[in-house]
Amino acid sequence: MSMPKQVRLTLVKSTAGRLAAHKACVRGLGLRRMHHSSIVLDTPENRGMISKVHYLLKIEEV
């Protein structure tokens, strides 16, 4: 079996002054502060959160 695809996310813009739902998405993706990175599975649920806050993130395929 092959490993599920993964995506590396880096928070490049601050969540200060953003909507509460957008802050919750960033936290749900495992990001805590500026320039912090996390690796998440490429699932439809995570893709939905990424698309909601794409303007705050740098997205790289792993």
Q: What is the pLDDT of residues 23-35, one digit of tens each?
A: 999 999 999 999 9
CATH value at residue 38: 3.30.1390.20
Cross-strand pairs, 60? 8
Question: Which SS3 state, helix, strand or coil, does residue 29 take?
Answer: coil
Residue type, 25: C
Asked if residues 32 and 60 have their Cβ atoms less than 8 Å apart, the reply is: no
Within a domain: 53: yes
- Please indicate, yes or no, whether the overall pTM of this predicted structure exceeds 0.85: yes
The Cα 62–Cα 42 span in angstroms is 10
In the DSSP assignment, the letter for residue 5 is P
User: Tokens in use for 40?
Assistant: 């998440």
| Tally of domains within the chain | 1
Range of the domain at 50: 6-61
Within a domain: 1: no
Task: Summarize pLDDT for 31-50 with one digit per residue, the tens.
Answer: 999 999 999 999 999 999 99
